[in-house]
Structure 1
Amino acid sequence: MQVVLFEDVKALGKKGDVVKVNDGYARNFIFPKKLGVEATPQNLAKLKQQKAYEAKVAAEQLAAAKDLANVIAAKTVTLKVKVGEGGRLFGAISSKEIAQAAKEQCDLELDKKKIVLPEPIKTLGTHEVPVKLHKDVTAALKVVVAEA
């Protein structure tokens, strides 16, 4: 029996796959748990339509992320902090502070989880901070750390 999967099924297939399974397995496991339906022409047409819609939405999200990346690349965020001897900061600058400063200075709504800092910023100067907007799009935000 051919079955269209609604969810990922371990050792069988991923969501949207059309797989061949035994009749008993389909009737006793897949159908009762609503993991899939029989691959009739109507269900295959629905699957094709759903995949086309998902591809369209993914393309729109990618385009929006690229536009936002261009906006972010043109912006500069300035943070003023207290500095000790030798240009060392008191504390460090985290992604939360960068997101807050971007919102205040540039009206950019950035999620602190999307700002990729391998380690907090601890020195004065200009830093390029990567912002992961989409799985394929990463923008570079310029962060200037200055003495208060």
Structure 2
Amino acid sequence: MKVVLRKDVPGLGKAGDIKNVADGYARNYLIPRGLAAVATPGAIKQAEQERIAEAERTRRLQQEAEELAEKLAQQTLTFKARAGEGDRLYGSITSADIAQAIQEATGLEVDKRKVLLERPIRELGEHTVTVKLHGDVVSQVKVVVEREA
């Protein structure tokens, strides 16, 4: 029986794929769980339209991420923090702080898990932080930590 997969099925295929499977597997497992539909001409056409729409959405998100990466590369985020001797901060600047500063500076929300810090910033000075935006689009943001007066 030919079916159109509605969701990714491990070992079988991705959503939108047209697969030939055993009748019992389709009727008793795939179709009742909403993982697939019988491959009628209408279902095949709908799956193709969904695949085209998904490709367009992915392309648009990629383009937006690249534009945001250019904006972020030109940004300098400045933090004021209390520091002791030797320019060591009493606290630290975390990925959550940087994500919030990016949101305030650009108006775009960035998840703190997308800010790639090996460890929190604990020293005064200039630091470069990597922000992963979408897929393989990354941007470098300059972070300056100054002594609070």
Same fold (TM over 0.5): yes
Looking at structure 2, the residues matched to 112 and 80 of structure 1 have their Cα atoms a distance apart, in angstroms, of 20
Q: Distance in 2 between matches of 1:12 and 1:59?
A: 26
| Gapped regions of structure 2 (runs ≥ 5) | none
Q: Give distance in 2, aligned partners of 1:90 and 1:96.
A: 17
The whole-number CA distance in structure 2 between the counterparts of 1:73 and 1:140 is 5
| Whole-angstrom distance in 1 between the partners of 2:117 and 2:124 | 16
For 1:101, the equivalent position in structure 2 comes to 101
Question: Where do 1:60-75 residues align within 5 Å?
Answer: 60-75=60-75
- After TM superposition, the score normalised by the length of structure 1 is 0.91
Establish whether residue 45 from structure 1 lines up as the match of residue 63 from structure 2: no
Is 1:20 aligned to residue 17 of structure 2?
no
Moved over 6 A (4+): none
- How many residue pairs match? The answer is 147
Question: 1-side partners of 2:17 and 2:117: how far apart?
Answer: 37
* TM-score, reference length from structure 2: 0.90
CA RMSD of aligned residues (A): 1.5
Determine the structure 2 residue equivalent to 1:89: 89
- 1:94–1:11 distance in 2 versus 1, CA, 3 Å: same
**2:118 matched residue in structure 1:** 118
Tell me the amino acid that sits aligned with residue 99 of structure 2: A
